[in-house]
DNA sequence: TTGAAAGCGCTAACAT
DNA sequence: ATGTTAGCGCTTTCAA
């Protein structure tokens, strides 16, 4: 039987070290917090004694006076949503590079939970990255009065934001579909209140118009696989040969749903998603998608947040926009004019990927 | 131009409230931390004044004296590994239920990073959940001397652990394959040093032996899609009609690799994975797998940790083991005796799922 | 039940 | 460069 996490003796403090090293406590403090303000010999001796005594500076006590915890909060709507995995890593890495630690808040799609968790975290973090949120603009503004904040994929005037270049992504997707002969495409919308959904739809609309492609919108659907399935039913009623979905999850669900209806992707219908989640390369057919630089986005937001924490103003001019690129895989193909939806599989549509 | 996160006046403290309410600071403190020790009238008055003044208790200052931060650390090897998504949620929810916040540590498969992040977090958390780790048993024991700790999917004597019932899972998988006529199976191993890999191999071995199935092991491979691809090459050299892989990612890669070699799953070879990650239901063919209760595992570990933090001994008897179940999907099928690997697709193997 | 006062461990003036 | 001395905001004896 082991003795669990005992602290046999009191934690050693700067006072212990000070006494042992024959200096004042403040000198020990300086030796660790601002070494440049201490004679290098003294500093060396202090560190050595500290080492011997097993001294570790207590971040809590430090934070109490400095008002800096080196903790930042990351809020996401739902951790099982694969887009967030890379985002989290980006945030986590940028934070770690600045010797900060990330506090995780999964709102679990619940307004109440998000508020509660945020309320708990806010007093102990130096700032927050809001990766997705059910909070209103007003609520976010309230938070930004208490702590530095950076918002992802959402543009709130006067609040620092980092977004992806949806217009360019939509443009590339439209061009790609145009080249394949599609002259009429459908946008399958995500949640109505989502800022990202709004901008993506407008971007697709604009791109299609510019390229003389007819465009139509269906939805809104839930931004999930099931949402995509629902879109399939809707699409059958008003078919086009190409579809752009709000996100990859919907695209995957749409392809499923279509397949069930005997409609082949990309044989009968071409599908393009948004985001490039990991699964996009795993499904059959592999998904053509507009890839967002998820990791980079997390990292960029965090770096910006850290500079704000260090006193920079939020320079709340324009949102920072990150480049996207179109990744062409197997869910898009040349349009076969006059082809009718039918259950016979084409070679292409069924081939297992690479 | 908004004024970012200003604090125009000093944060209000118990002293402000005390003065305004005409009581001592200690009374205000009690009114919030142990209301039962305060006259209910006074308590009410204090709370009301506090409300009016916008008082919020400062968790940092509280933690300094109570030595409780209500923070718990969660360590994983790699966030992009989909098994962790649900685990994180389980941990996060259990923590939130206990008014605690989760601190996230992504070791990014690096020993150094893990140590650094853990070192930073350890002094400020009440305990840690180690979901996967490159740390040695000895290192983990060191940590457990400083803070309560619960380890997942790894059995370290005298350290509280929660594991899944691999033996039962392996047994169910073997029975399933047996019923389909397979009498010779291969285990495609994951990383050699992984405790989970060890127990899974032994479990499969034992189950196969008990059911009079011939069993062979190949590997070790990286526990990833690419690792699975590598396993495909190896398998072709020494074929069996059924394979159990260390985890789902490998299973997905294996199916890919096999397909490239013109070998159909499940037509020619049946494949069973471990874990039931989200993608298992997304790939083609959908994966038969031994489902681990990931969310429950995270939640169970966290609840146990919280009781330890509240003073319970680690009751370090046997590891807590959670039930698994076999989920039969499309990657396993009846053995076709004498069938040779060939590039012709069967209907079954190519059918898009549901 | 309430108050007074002494810390928790550190940092930050202010002196020297 | 270093020491002295107040706090940071809260909890916690100890008395009353």
Give me the DSSP letters along A72-128.
Answer: EEEEES-TTSTHHHHHHHHHHHHHHHTT-EEEEEE-TT-HHHHHHHHHHHGGG-SEE
* Distance between the alpha carbon (CA) of A66 and the C1' atom of C12, Å: 10
> How far is Cα A204 from Cα A185, in angstroms, rounded to an integer?
10
* Distance between the alpha carbon (CA) of A87 and the C1' atom of D1, Å: 46
Quick one: closest CA in B to A96, which residue? B117
Instruction: Tally the residues of chain B.
Output: 354
Q: Which two tokens stand for residue A350?
A: 């069924």
| Residue segments in chain A with a per-residue pLDDT below the cut of 50 | 1-3, 8, 340-354
**Fold of the domain spanning A14-57:** 434 Repressor (Amino-terminal Domain) (1.10.260)
What is the strand order of the sheet B288-291 is part of?
A: B214-218, B184-188, B242-245, B270-275, B288-291, B325-327
Common-topology check for domains A71-164+294-323 and A166-291:
yes
What are the two backbone dihedrals, phi and then psi, of residue B115, each rounded to the nearest 5 degrees?
Answer: -60, -45
Quick one: closest CA in B to A128, which residue? B5
| Count of beta carbons in the 10 Å neighbourhood of residue B78 | 17
Q: In this structure, what is the dihedral angle of CA atoms A278, A282, A283, A284, given to the nearest 10 degrees?
A: 140
Q: Give pLDDT, residue A321.
A: 95
What residues of chain A lie within 8 A of the CB of B105, using their CB? 92, 101
Give the minimum alpha-carbon distance from B135 to chain A in angstroms, rounded to a whole number. Answer: 18
Q: Which two tokens stand for residue B199?
A: 């127990």
Q: Which two tokens stand for residue B258?
A: 């096999």
In this structure, the strands spanning B325-327 and B288-291 are antiparallel
> How far is Cα B106 from Cα B146, in angstroms, rounded to an integer?
20
Q: Which two tokens stand for residue B153?
A: 């999917």
Q: Could you list the beta-strand ranges (E) of B60-148.
A: 71-76, 101-106, 127-130
Which ranges of A125-219 would DSSP assign to H, the alpha helix?
137-146, 166-179, 195-210
What is the strand order of the sheet A270-275 is part of?
A: A214-218, A184-188, A242-245, A270-275, A288-291, A325-327
Q: Which residue has the tokens 């269906």?
A: A218
Q: Could you list the beta-strand ranges (E) of chain B.
A: 71-76, 101-106, 127-130, 149-152, 161-164, 184-188, 214-218, 242-245, 270-275, 288-291, 320-322, 325-327
Of B88, B146, B282, which is closest to A5 when you measure between CB atoms?
B146
- Taking C1' of D9 and every protein CA, the nearest residue is B61
* Distance between the alpha carbon (CA) of A71 and the C1' atom of C16, Å: 38
| Count of beta carbons in the 10 Å neighbourhood of residue B21 | 21
* A186 within 8 A of A244, measured Cβ to Cβ: yes
> How far is Cα A338 from Cα A341, in angstroms, rounded to an integer?
10
Q: Tens of pLDDT along B230-246?
A: 999 999 999 999 999 99
User: Any idea which nucleotide's C1' is nearest the CA of B65?
Assistant: C8
> How far is Cα B342 from Cα B339, in angstroms, rounded to an integer?
9
> How far is Cα B342 from Cα B345, in angstroms, rounded to an integer?
8
Domain-wise residue ranges, chain A: 14-57, 71-164+294-323, 166-291
User: Any idea which nucleotide's C1' is nearest the CA of A67?
Assistant: D8
Whether A105 sits inside 8 A of B108 (CB atoms) is no
What are the two backbone dihedrals, phi and then psi, of residue B170, each rounded to the nearest 5 degrees?
Answer: -60, -40
Element (H, E) at A185: strand A184-188
User: Any idea which nucleotide's C1' is nearest the CA of B62?
Assistant: D10
CATH number for the region B166-291 comes to 3.40.50.2300
What are the two backbone dihedrals, phi and then psi, of residue B331, each rounded to the nearest 5 degrees?
Answer: -95, 5
* A204 within 8 A of A240, measured Cβ to Cβ: no
* Distance between the alpha carbon (CA) of B61 and the C1' atom of D7, Å: 13
Whether A101 sits inside 8 A of B101 (CB atoms) is no
Q: Give pLDDT, residue A6.
A: 53
Whether A93 sits inside 8 A of B108 (CB atoms) is yes
Whether B350 sits inside 8 A of A354 (CB atoms) is no
Q: Give pLDDT, residue A352.
A: 39
Query: Left, alpha or beta for A99 (phi > 0: left; psi -120 to 50: alpha)?
Result: left
* Distance between the alpha carbon (CA) of B27 and the C1' atom of C5, Å: 14
Domain B71-164+294-323 annotated CATH 3.40.50.2300: yes
Which ranges of chain A would DSSP assign to H, the alpha helix?
14-21, 25-33, 40-53, 59-66, 83-97, 111-121, 137-146, 166-179, 195-210, 225-237, 248-260, 294-309, 347-350
| Residue segments in chain B with a per-residue pLDDT below the cut of 70 | 1-9, 314-316, 337-354
Q: Which two tokens stand for residue A169?
A: 């992504």
Query: Which residues have CB under 8 Å from B213's CB, separation 6+?
Result: B174, B177, B178, B182, B183, B184, B185, B207
What residues of chain A lie within 8 A of the CB of B350, using their CB? 345, 350, 352
Q: List residues with CB under 7 Å of strand D.
A: A 22-27, 30, 37-39, 41-43, 61, 64-65; B 10-11, 13-15, 25-26, 29-30, 32-34, 55-58, 61-62, 64-66
* Distance between the alpha carbon (CA) of B28 and the C1' atom of C7, Å: 18
Which of A5, A144, A279, A308 to mutate to test binding with chain B, by most B CBs within 10 Å of its CB? A5
Of A63, A123, A148, which is closest to B56 when you measure between CB atoms?
A123
Whether B316 sits inside 8 A of A102 (CB atoms) is no
Could you tell me the pTM of the whole model? 0.90
Quick one: closest CA in A to B67, which residue? A60
What residues of chain A lie within 8 A of the CB of B278, using their CB? 80, 82, 279
> How far is Cα A140 from Cα A130, in angstroms, rounded to an integer?
9
Q: Tens of pLDDT along B273-289?
A: 999 998 999 898 999 99
């Amino acid at each position: 039987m082991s003795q669990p996490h005992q602290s046999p003796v009191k934690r050693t403090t700067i006072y212990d070290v000070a006494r042992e090293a024959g200096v004042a406590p403040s000198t020990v403090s300086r030796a660790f917090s601002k070494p440049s303000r201490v004679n290098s010999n003294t500093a060396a001796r202090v560190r050595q004694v500290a080492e011997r005594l097993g001294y570790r500076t207590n971040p809590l006590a430090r934070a109490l006076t400095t008002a800096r915890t080196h903790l930042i909060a990351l809020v996401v709507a739902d951790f099982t949503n694969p887009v967030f995995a890379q985002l989290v890593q980006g945030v986590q890495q940028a934070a770690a590079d600045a010797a900060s630690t990330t506090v995780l808040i999964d709102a679990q799609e619940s307004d109440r939970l998000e508020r509660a968790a945020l309320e708990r975290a806010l007093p102990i973090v130096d700032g927050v990255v809001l990766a997705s949120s059910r909070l209103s603009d007003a609520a976010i503004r309230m938070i930004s009065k208490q702590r530095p904040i950076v918002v992802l994929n959402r543009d709130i005037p006067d609040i620092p934001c980092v977004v992806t270049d949806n217009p360019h992504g939509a443009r590339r997707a439209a061009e790609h579909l145009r080249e394949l002969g599609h002259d009429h495409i459908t946008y399958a919308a995500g949640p109505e209140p989502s800022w990202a959904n709004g901008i993506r739809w407008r971007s697709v609309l604009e791109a299609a118009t510019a390229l003389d492609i007819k465009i139509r919108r269906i939805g809104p659907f839930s931004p999930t696989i099931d949402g995509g399935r629902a879109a399939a039913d809707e699409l059958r009623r008003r078919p086009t040969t190409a579809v752009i979905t709000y996100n990859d999850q919907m695209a995957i669900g749409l392809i499923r749903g279509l397949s069930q209806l005997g409609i082949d992707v990309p044989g009968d219908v071409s599908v393009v998603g948004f985001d490039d989640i990991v699964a996009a390369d795993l499904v059959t057919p592999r998904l053509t998608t507009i890839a967002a630089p998820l990791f980079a986005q997390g990292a960029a937001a965090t770096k910006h947040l850290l500079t704000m924490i260090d006193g920079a103003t939020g320079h709340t001019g324009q949102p920072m926009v990150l480049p996207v690129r179109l990744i062409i895989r197997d869910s898009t193909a040349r349009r076969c004019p006059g082809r009718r939806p039918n259950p016979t599989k084409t070679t292409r549509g069924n081939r297992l990927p690479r």
